[in-house]
Amino acid sequence: MSGRMLATCAACAFSLVFVWPTQAQQTFGESHIAVENPAELSKDEANAIYDKLKEMMASGYGLSQIALVDGYQSWTRYNSAPYLSATHGQRFVNNYANATGKTYGSLKAGEQLPAGTVLAKDSVTVKDDGKFYPGALFIMEKLNAGTNPDTADWRYMVINPDGSLAGDTTGDGPELVKYCHDCHIGMAEMDYIFYVPDDYRVAR
């Protein structure tokens, strides 16, 4: 590690763990990963943590048997690394879009994503013990025009990491996920999507 890196590294405990992967593997437990200060994760560190948890996450969400998000991890991911999302419960999140939603990354004001677009935002959560665990899966599905005027034809859904459904605007517990659109409505001119924070965008 160079002197400059040491000087600029606000959380060197991470770097020491993460710079050498073999050592890192010994430090990690079977499935849960601990770090000292999650807010200071680098992109590499966040990706490494996600890589360790993503299969477990997919199996957990899969228990919901909601086919809409089957195989979502093979869709295009629009962020370079999981990033902290204050608006989704201070979780580290990723943004995936299915093939129908391929203009998710290039949408211009006034344009709309086509019906059948599914946006899946999975998440990793940090608990008080400083360890990372699978978090909820946040979903937006674009419905056919006129299907659901209350939410501008977007369906919002949340699946818990154990596969249970936390709410669905077109199914069980719609009132539990009503707040989703109340915030996304701020982006009405961009078809209600916020997209990825600038420094985490992947050029597409």
Interface with ligand HEC (CB under 6 A): 85, 87-88, 93, 95, 119, 121, 138-140, 156, 158, 177, 179-180, 183-184, 193-195
Give the N- to C-terminal CA distance of the chain in Å, as an integer.
32
Nearer to ligand HEC, 85 or 98 (CB): 85
Which of residues 18 and 72 has its CB atom nearest to ligand HEC in the complex? Answer: 72
Beta strands in 28-153 (DSSP E): 33-34, 76-77, 83-85, 91-93, 96-97, 118-121, 123-126, 131-134, 137-142
In whole angstroms, how close is the CB of 163 to ligand HEC at the nearest point? 16
Q: How far is the CB of 2 from ligand HEC (least distance, A)?
A: 33
Q: Smallest distance from the beta carbon of 184 to ligand HEC, in angstroms? A: 6
Which residue's CB is nearer to ligand HEC, number 21 or number 89?
89
Residue burial 11-32, b: 16+ Cβ < 10 Å; e: rest: bbebbebbeeeeebeeebeeeb
In this complex, which beta carbon is closest to ligand HEC, that of residue 77 or of residue 184?
184
Say how far apart CA 58 and CA 134 lie, in whole Å.
9
